[in-house]
């Protein structure tokens, strides 16, 4: 290191002719979602989709992106602005954006070589990183059957509960049950109660509704790899490392969130839950904690009532988000786990990050650092762009809105409606990014590296 | 991966008797700074240090920590609360906390095995990671001479400029010149103008004052390894990778900050600089950008005037901070550079992070990820603790205050004076942490790892 090392220059290598390259799977995912957004926008702009005047292009684009990215931020009130046809379109967009995308993501993840141990097993451990077409169909069918069963049970439970509500007709109760079961399971956060005359405070917050909706949100938020891993646990008696870590992290996040909200919101002077009995405080904080990371249903009526410590907690939970290949966004619980494990291992002086008797694969920490870095960058840039173009907006509200879009969460401090056209476009892009996830976008947009035939000498730099 | 691998259990290894272990250097740094804080607190509590009633223990503790960590946040007004003796104590604490600590850090960094190429060269490339006592004295002397020269030239320039100011006597001009040269070079952010009758807006903001102060801040913010590397450039004609990266990152950050402030603050309707001529807008935004990352002098009179986008930009710049072994805090420009380079390399599919014909040393990315993770955690936890214990505080103000303490910056949205006792203690701890830096604290507090004789099987987990 003291000597001046000779510089090694890279040998330029003839690039492959781009015309002959197959479209990489990650790029297909990006293009596929973009095409769906265009299709959804066009459908929502049809006069038949609106109950009054047709949606403008930006309203339709915002709503379609929000539905397909299962975010739930909205510049319209769905139940009043959309006809029943429009509401069905919205429901389908949520289902496609949630379930369809999750299934495709699992299949494509496999193609990208990021191994899902469950999928491995389902596909008889294909070791070449390529799925047999038959296996794709088989996995997809299993996943869809699982999803339909869960949503069906949830919708039935909601219907049985809501059809007793005098404010809803039986048809309404049935459609609302279906819509909200899908919206909950897909963690979409869209609801049809806000704007319905009998429900001035949005979704029903009675205990049973919160329990059913919360369960659907929780299951959807676990992600397909974890759900299927759990479903076959009785046979295999073994959970993959991914499932174990996901369950630990999710439990930790839900409990932290619950405790945090509980401490902040039951304070007698300022808390939003100060007037509720203890059992309701517990249930609502649990629901809010489950819902906060991505679902976007509000457990308390007016989110602007939330105290500042809860706003900060919410932003943190949203930013961490859900497991990969789930309904949620954020940096993902996987990245969070890797960063924590890596930090712990570093502090203990371990040669590699380790957890539960396993070393993490080489490069995992580097990948997690990349995800965190680019995510911080995207959130900060989007927030700055909104702040510089909107007057009278506090940093709080803007950060909350952007992180909510980034995590495809959909909670808001009542700021979405104040966005100007430029702000709407920024939020649309962030939602789009949030649904795809940092890794997919990096891989899709990055120019494929040329094979490197030389290696550079190492040098240290200080990092403080 | 499909098979159930056998678990390998760790062989317990007899620990060394802790009584025989030498105190690790990082822990010495932590204990040393803590002892200095106690000493400084006691000195400032002496009746002779105060101009009126003696400082309370928490005022003295806060001021001593703020001075020794070169932060500059203050719950007292130094020029009115402290006697001349007290102001000299403050000056000495700043000098020890800034220069002394920086020198010790460079020496100890070397002992920790984090190689500083310059120091390497100065010590005739000791390859065992241990310094010869004679070399320590020699390095220390060189560094101190450099520092005294820079501060002396700065103080002289300030004196020549300020002694013409009718509001200051010659003795005042001399003491103020010395105090602010040290405070600027140490990036401490304490000033004696705030509270002086002739200067209702704090430090003089004429062009020459800003240029002299800004230059001292900039040089101090580069850090000893970079300064000495630059000083011997004419002989060696080669800069270390650390210096090259630091200069690139600092230039990038200063320009980004300047452009960002310029765009936000000259807007005709809301910007804090809307009434200034263009040349002043350019100078002030440049000064503010240089000062923002750690120095803590305000280029505009009232920081609450700052628009939200500039608040966000400031928080980002502070969080990134300064190079390691400099006067600043934050995650350090080194960590920022590693994360960026690592992200870029990952996106390009490179086997290792690379920059300028060098591979980054193995584990560097993992270390940078650890620093970023723990820093985010500390900032979020401290902010939450403050929000939960203070009424009527917005998230903006609390985040700004905590990041300012974390980066030992000292800028504030006028929130420091509103802190209750608990909040003061939180900020004291964050300033303490900020001056030491994440790596030092992790290494000091972590239990040394037992040598690991087995390696665990690898397993992938998804990170989204
Ligand atoms: K959502
Ligand atoms: K400072």
pLDDT of residue A316: 93
Q: Which residues of B touch A8 (CB under 8 A)?
A: 357
Residue A291: pLDDT over 90: no
**pLDDT for A86:** 93
Q: What percent of chain A has pLDDT over 70?
A: 78
> Predicted ipTM?
0.84
Measured in Å, residue A97 CA sits from the centre of ligand 1 at 11
**Residue of higher predicted confidence among A303 and B165:** B165
Determine, for residues A335 and B264 on separate chains, whether the beta-carbon distance falls below 8 Å.
no
Q: Is residue A332 part of a domain?
A: yes
Q: pLDDT tens across A420-447, in order?
A: 999 999 999 999 988 887 777 776 666 5
A256 to A261, A281, A355: CA distances (angstroms): 9, 15, 21
Closest chain A residue to B105, measured at CA: A464
Q: What percent of chain B has pLDDT over 70?
A: 78
The whole-number pLDDT of residue A399 equals 93
- Our count of domains for chain B comes to 1
What is the rounded average pLDDT of the residues A290-300? 76
pLDDT at residue A118, rounded to an integer: 36
Q: φ and ψ at A359, to 5 degrees?
A: -85, 140
Q: What pLDDT sits at residue A146?
A: 84
> How high does pLDDT run on average in chain B?
78
Closest-approaching ligand to the CA atom of A293: 1
Angle between helix axes A395-406 and B395-406 (nearest 10 degrees) is 90
d(CA B289, CA B409): 12
Residue B14 located in a structural domain = no
Question: Could you read off the pLDDT of A242-286 as tens digits, one per residue?
Answer: 788 889 999 999 999 989 888 888 776 666 777 778 888 888 888
pLDDT band at A341 (very low <50, low <70, confident <90, very high): confident
pLDDT score at B444: 66
Q: Show residues of chain B in contact with A408, CB under 8 Å.
A: none
In a domain, B15, yes or no: no
Among B269, B359, B370, select the one facing A458 at the smallest CB separation.
B359
Distance from C-alpha of A76 to C-alpha of B186, rounded to nearest angstrom? 54
Closest CA to A315 of B316, B396, B406: B396
Binary contact (A366, B365; C-beta < 8 A): yes
Q: What is the pLDDT of residues B181-217, one digit of tens each?
A: 999 998 888 888 888 888 877 788 888 998 999 999 9
Residues in chain B with CB shorter than 8 Å from the CB of A384 are 260, 309, 312-313
Q: Is the pLDDT of residue A57 over 70?
A: yes
Contacts of A241 in chain B (CB under 8 A): 459-461
pLDDT class of B277 with cuts at 50, 70, 90: confident
Highest averaged pLDDT of the listed ranges A264-278, A307-321, B338-352, B436-450: A307-321
The reported pLDDT for the residue numbered B60 is 94
What pLDDT does residue A165 have? Answer: 84
C-alpha B305 to ligand 2 mean position (Å): 20
Q: From CA A14, how far away is CA B8, in angstroms rounded?
A: 47
The rounded distance, in Å, linking the Cα atoms of A323 and B21 is 43
Closest listed ligand to the CA of B405: 2
Residue of A nearest to B451 (CA): A350
Any bridge partners for residue A458, and if so which?
B359
Interval B52-87: pLDDT, tens: 899 999 999 999 999 998 888 889 988 889 999 999
Q: How confident is the model at residue B151 (pLDDT cuts 50, 70, 90)?
A: very high
pLDDT at A39: 94
CB distance A46 to A77 below 8 Å: no
Query: Is B339 in Cβ contact with A459 (below 8 Å)?
Result: no
For residue A201, tell me if it sits in a domain. Answer: yes
Among B242, B368, B388, beta carbon nearest to A369? B368
Residues on chain A touching B373 (C-beta within 8 angstroms): 339-340, 342-343, 372
Given a cut of 60, whether residue B334 has pLDDT beyond it is yes
pLDDT cut 90: percent of chain A above it: 27
Cβ-nearest to A452 among B350, B455, B464: B350
Query: Does B123 score more than 70 pLDDT?
Result: no
Q: How confident is the model at residue A131 (pLDDT cuts 50, 70, 90)?
A: very low
Round the CA-based radius of gyration of chain A to a whole number and report it: 23
CA of B67, nearest ligand number: 2
When mean pLDDT is compared across A45-54, A201-210, B273-282, B313-322, the lowest value belongs to B273-282
Is residue A119 predicted with pLDDT exceeding 50?
Answer: no
Q: Which of A225-239, B45-59, B248-262 has the lowest mean pLDDT?
A: A225-239
Half-sphere exposure of B165 (CA within 13 A, CB side): 23
- Of A210-219, B45-54, B262-271, least confident by mean pLDDT is B262-271
Residue contact A339–B398, C-beta within 8 A: no
What pLDDT digit, counting tens, does each position of B231-260 carry?
A: 777 776 777 777 888 899 999 999 999 898
| pLDDT value of residue B221 | 86
Choose among B312, B370, B395: nearest Cβ to A380: B312
Answer whether B115 sits within 8 Å of A316, measured CB to CB.
no
pLDDT of residue A24: 62
**Residues in B touching A240 (Cβ below 8 Å):** 459
Measured over the CA atoms of residue B436, residue B437, residue B440 and residue B443, the dihedral's sign is: positive
pLDDT of residue B8: 37
Report yes or no on B240 lying in a domain.
yes
- Strand, coil or helix: B453: coil
A71 CA from centroid of ligand 1 (Å): 4
Model pLDDT for residues A359-405, shown as the tens digit of each residue: 776 677 888 888 899 999 999 999 999 999 988 888 888 999 999 99
Residue A202: predicted pLDDT: 79
Q: What pLDDT does B456 receive? A: 56
Q: First CA to last CA across chain B, in angstroms? A: 20
Shortest alpha-carbon distance between residue B237 and chain A (Å) = 10
Chain A: residue whose CA lies nearest to B124: A2
With beta carbons under 8 A apart, name residues in chain A contacting B109. 462
The pLDDT of residue B455 is above 50: yes
Beta strands A354-355 and A358-360, pairing class: antiparallel
User: Looking at CA atoms only, how far is residue A109 from chain B in angstroms?
Assistant: 9
What's CA B450's distance to the chain center, in Å?
33
Q: How many CB pairs under 8 A join A and B?
A: 294
**Across the interface, which of B332, B339, B395 has its CB nearest the CB of A308?**
B395
Q: Spell out which residues of chain B touch residue A460, defining contact as CB-CB under 8 Å.
A: 114-115, 117, 241-242, 361, 364
Task: Flag whether A464 is in a domain.
Answer: no
pLDDT of A156 over the 80 cut: yes
A385 domain residue, yes or no: yes
The alpha carbon of B300 and the centre of ligand 2 are apart by a number of angstroms equal to: 16
- Choice between B309 and A447, residue whose per-residue pLDDT is larger: B309
Q: Residue B398 — very low, low, confident or very high, per pLDDT cuts 50/70/90?
A: very high
pLDDT for res B418: 86
| Distance between Cα B69 and ligand 2 center (Å) | 8
Cβ A332–B362 below 8 Å, yes or no? Answer: no
Distance in Å, CA B296 to ligand 2 centroid: 5
Average pLDDT, integer, range A43-66: 92
The β-bridge partners of B358 are B355
Q: Which residues contact A194 (CB under 8 A, 6 or more apart)?
A: A77, A79, A202, A203
Q: Is it the case that residue B350 has pLDDT exceeding 80?
A: no
- pLDDT at residue A116 above 60? no
The domain in which residue B329 lies consists of 24-445
Pick from B2, B125, B442: which is nearest to A346 by CB? Answer: B442
User: Considering only CB atoms, which chain B residues are within 8 Å of A114?
Assistant: 460, 462
**A344 assigned to some structural domain:** yes
Cα separation, B459 vs A244, in Å, equals 12
H-type alpha helices, B18-83: 25-45, 57-68, 78-81
Q: Contact A368/B364, CB-based, under 8 Å?
A: no
Phi, psi of A101 (to 5 degrees): -65, -40
């Amino acid at each position: 290191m003291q000597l001046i090392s000779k510089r090694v220059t890279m040998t330029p290598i003839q690039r492959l002719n781009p015309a002959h390259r197959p479209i990489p799977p990650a790029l297909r995912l990006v293009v596929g979602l973009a095409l769906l957004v265009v299709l959804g926008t066009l459908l929502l702009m049809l006069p038949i989709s609106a109950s009054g005047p047709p949606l403008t292009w930006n309203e339709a684009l915002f709503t379609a992106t929000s539905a397909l990215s299962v975010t739930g931020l909205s510049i319209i009130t769905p139940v009043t602005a959309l006809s029943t046809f429009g509401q069905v379109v919205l429901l389908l967009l949520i289902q496609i954006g949630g379930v369809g995308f999750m299934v495709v993501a699992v299949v494509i993840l496999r193609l990208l070589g990021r191994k899902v141990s469950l999928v491995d097993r389902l596909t008889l451990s294909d070791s070449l990183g390529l799925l047999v077409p038959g296996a794709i169909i088989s996995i997809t069918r299993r996943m869809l059957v699982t999803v339909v069963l869960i949503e069906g049970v949830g919708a039935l439970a909601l219907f049985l509960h809501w059809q007793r509500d005098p404010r809803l007709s039986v048809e309404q109760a049935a459609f609302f049950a279906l819509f909200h079961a899908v919206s909950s399971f897909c963690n979409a956060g869209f609801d049809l109660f806000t704007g319905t005359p009998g429900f001035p405070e949005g979704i029903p917050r009675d205990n049973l509704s919160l329990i059913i909706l919360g369960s659907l949100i929780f299951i959807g938020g676990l992600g397909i790899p974890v759900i299927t891993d759990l479903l076959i646990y009785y046979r295999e008696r073994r959970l993959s490392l991914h499932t174990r870590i996901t369950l630990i992290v999710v439990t930790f996040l839900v409990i932290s969130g619950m405790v945090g909200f509980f401490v902040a919101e039951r304070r007698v002077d300022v808390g939003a839950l100060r007037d509720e009995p203890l059992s309701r405080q517990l249930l609502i904080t649990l629901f809010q904690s489950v819902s906060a990371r991505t679902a976007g249903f509000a457990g308390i009526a007016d989110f602007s009532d939330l105290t500042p410590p809860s706003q900060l907690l919410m932003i943190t939970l949203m930013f961490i988000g859900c497991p990969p290949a789930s309904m949620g966004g954020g940096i993902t619980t996987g990245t969070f786990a890797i960063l924590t494990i890596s930090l712990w291992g570093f502090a203990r002086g371990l040669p590699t990050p380790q957890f539960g008797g396993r070393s993490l694969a080489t490069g995992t920490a580097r990948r997690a650092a990349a995800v965190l870095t680019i995510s911080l960058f995207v959130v900060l840039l989007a927030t700055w762009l909104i702040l510089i173009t909107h007057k009278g907006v506090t940093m709080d509200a803007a950060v909350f809105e952007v992180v909510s879009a980034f995590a495809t969460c959909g909670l808001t401090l009542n700021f979405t409606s104040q966005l100007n056209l430029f702000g709407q476009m920024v939020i649309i892009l962030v939602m789009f990014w949030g649904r795809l996830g940092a890794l997919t976008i990096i891989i899709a947009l990055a120019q494929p590296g040329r094979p490197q035939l030389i290696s550079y000498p190492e040098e240290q730099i200080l990092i403080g």
